[in-house]
Amino acid sequence: MIKHICLLLIMFLFFELSFAKNPYDITAKEIIEKVQAKYKKTNTLIAKYTQTTKFKLTKFEQSVNGTLYLKKEKKYRIETNDQIFITDGVTSWAFTNKTNQLVIDNFKEDKNSISPEKFLVEYPEDYYSSLIGKSKVNNQEVYELKLIPKSSNNFIKSMKVWVDDDEWFIRKVELTDINDNITIYTVKKVDVNVEINNDKFQFKPGKDIQVIDLR
């Protein structure tokens, strides 16, 4: 699950999409070019976010706060109250507070665990996108885009993203999966090009932690 979150958060902050015609004063392509330009100038990033999940079958809704640390290249760390996922691009660590268990594995660039660089190059080809219009997120003006996967086999049925018209960061994403469950990520704060020590992308377990090493 934490690997899915990792992928989504990377999608949440930087990506390039195909685009459609729209009646607004800017195209989806131009918006994404500005997002990409911002990404190219970003070497490190810390983003605080809220994740809200709405389950259709049970009508249950839950929210969790988290923090994403990202450092080029292929280093990222995701922290929530329940879990921590870390990779330095070679090894991955997944720690669960509830079970006090740490799973160590070789980092694998598959669809569930993906680096920002690979996502920017390969993943956009899997989606159609269109610019819906303008709205506000946390009282900030944003452009709203809709994404539809080209493949009917995709776990993601549809997605909306909101990009601010000032710093050109993605401020919100709404994801609907094939079971009609909805997950919403809202970025509360983003700091770019700040100092992040490489130790942040390692995990040294204490003696009381159960370690499962799959390498």
Kind of pairing, strands 61-71 and 75-80? antiparallel
pLDDT of res. 3: 54
Contact 84, 67 (CB under 8 A): no
Task: Pick the closest to residue 83 from 155, 179, 6, 193 (CA basis).
Answer: 6
Farthest CA pair distance, the chain: 60
Q: What Å distances lie between residue 41 and 30, 45, 88, CA to CA?
A: 17, 11, 20
Q: Return the minimum-mean-pLDDT range out of 34-43, 96-105, 131-140.
A: 34-43
Domains (range + CATH), the chain: 2-213 (2.50.20.10)
Q: What is the DSSP letter of 125?
A: G
**Distance separating alpha carbons of residues 142 and 98, to the nearest angstrom:** 37
Question: H helices then E strands: how many in the chain?
Answer: 3, 12
pLDDT at 83 over 50: yes
Task: Pick the closest to residue 47 from 31, 27, 71 (CA basis).
Answer: 71
Which pTM value belongs to this model? 0.78
Query: What are 120-153's pLDDT values in tens digits?
Result: 334 455 778 789 999 999 888 999 988 888 888 8
